[in-house]
Amino acid sequence: MRILFSAVPAGGHALPLLPLATAARAAGHEIAILSNAETAPLLRPFPVLTAGPTLEAQMAETQRRTGMHPAQPGPAAVEMFAGTRVDLTYDEALREATAFRPELIVCEPFDYVAPTIASALDVPWVALGISGSVPSELMSALRGRWHQQLDRYSLRATERLAYLDPYPAFLRQEGEDPEPDAIAVRPVAFDREDDVFELPAFREEDRPRALVTFGTSVIEPEAEEATARSLADSGFNVIVAGSHTPERVAGHVHRAGFVPLARVLPWADVLVSAGGTGTILAALATGTPMVVRPFHADQPWNAERLTRIGIAETISAFDDSGPAAAKIVATPSYREAAARTAQEVGTMTPVSEIVPMLETAVLRHGSERR
């Protein structure tokens, strides 16, 4: 089966698709990923069908249209995902997808190019969640804007086959229900076979260990610097995993550059992050307690929920990273809560079992249409 994966061209949107793409490829399916040229290197070794401008250009056009920055949930985000991106990407993406001839499309919920293509090609599609539940008002606005796009292209929306949900039930708010077509899928830390990483040797190996990563959407070297300094001053050995140039161990800090989380999370006693969903789900799966300094998007929601269940401390200043991490390693309840969450995450369906479920769903979809 030919499966086309698609996401908004940003690491936090695209990288969560790769474990399922890897499992589907291992099961013998032909895989391609729809993205732009800027994001293509992040998605190796999968072939990338390139379409659309840079994310920076899409955000600039959205800001021109709305007068607001689209990083925060609201009208600008609605226009960005369901308006601007479709306008600037769809025609080119449809040509690429038509040539690939997908039999199934897998996308993330903020990608409205992929379901538009699914409607045009009459191909079944599924969504893979990359966040917790989005406020109903925001989802309603996104879908309304998307339906305007469908009307523009004289298309009728096709029903998705399933919503693959990696967000654990224990993080949901009271009364917050999963999607009606949800299938719980076990989150895993991002990894890639050809990324070579050796854990650094620190001069004082008996210090507690802190991993710092603000993901791919927060590019603030000064934030990394202040956080690493606070942690080192509080008695930690620190690895900073980010998009910046790797450096050798300096004092108690090693700047590792871009490192798959699967390679370094098991090393850490505590994770310090912005609270992006991919990062926190990887930490939950490995039983790693967290310090969260949220920036934008769904990060404040995640921070509140993690703190509520006792697995994290939320901070507002980078200089608070060290004291918060020291509190976590000195207080057994954080590690105990993290271990419980890892056990619960372990009961969710692994991606290797999701692939045959998708195969069955596609076959059933085809038979029902005959």
Kindly state which CATH superfamily the domain 209-345 is placed in: Glycogen Phosphorylase B; (3.40.50.2000)
Q: Where are the alpha helices (DSSP H) in 111-177?
A: 113-121, 136-152
pLDDT tier at 191, thresholds 50, 70, 90: confident
Among 38-52, 132-146, 307-321, which is the least confidently predicted range? Answer: 132-146
Q: Which regions of the chain carry the CATH code 3.40.50.2000?
A: 2-187+349-369, 209-345
Other Cβ atoms closer than 10 A to 197:
16
Between 221 and 50, residue with greater pLDDT? 50
Provide the CATH topology of domain 2-187+349-369: Rossmann fold (3.40.50)
> Does pLDDT of 164 surpass 70?
yes
Pick the range with the lowest mean pLDDT from 158-172, 184-198, 259-273, 313-327.
Answer: 184-198
**Average pLDDT of span 19-33:** 95
Q: Give the Cα-Cα-Cα angle 170, 174, 175 (nearest 5 degrees).
A: 120
Res 359 pLDDT > 70: yes
pTM for this predicted structure: 0.87
DSSP 184: E
Residue 300: name the closest of 63, 73, 17, 8 by CA.
Answer: 73
Q: Is residue 175 scored above 80 in pLDDT?
A: no
Q: For residues 11 and 92, what is the distance between their CA atoms, to the nearest angstrom?
A: 21
In sign, the C-alpha dihedral spanning 298, 55, 190, 18 is: positive
- Residues 262-284: b if buried by 16+ CB within 10 A, e if exposed: bbbbeebbbbbbbbbbbbbbbbb
Mean pLDDT, residues 244-253: 74
pLDDT digits (tens, 9 = 90+) for 254-288: 888 888 888 899 999 999 998 888 898 999 999 99
Burial of 221 by CB count in 10 Å (0-12 exposed, 13-18 middle, 19+ buried)?
middle
> pLDDT digit string (tens) for 59-89?
999 999 999 888 777 899 999 999 999 999 9
**332 vs 215, higher pLDDT:** 332
- Name beta bridge partners: 5: 33, 106
The structure tokens listed for 81 are 């995902």
Joined together, the tokens standing for residue 207 give 């210090």
Kindly tell me if the per-residue pLDDT of 95 is higher than 80.
yes
Q: Is the pLDDT of residue 218 over 60?
A: no
pLDDT band at residue 11, thresholds of 50, 70 and 90?
A: confident
C-alpha to C-alpha distances, 221 to 42, 216, 233, nearest whole angstrom: 20, 12, 18
> How far is the C-alpha of 10 from the C-alpha of 344, rounded, in Å?
29
Give me the pLDDT at residue 49, please.
97
Q: Please tell me whether residue 209 adopts helix, strand or coil conformation.
A: strand
Amino acid at position 25, single letter: R
Q: Residue 289's Cα: distance from chain center in Å?
A: 19
Percent residues over pLDDT 90 in the chain: 60
For 100-133, the pLDDT digits (tens) are 999 999 999 999 999 999 999 999 999 999 887 7
Beta strands in 36-152 (DSSP E): 48-50, 104-107, 125-128
- Coil, helix or strand for 255? strand
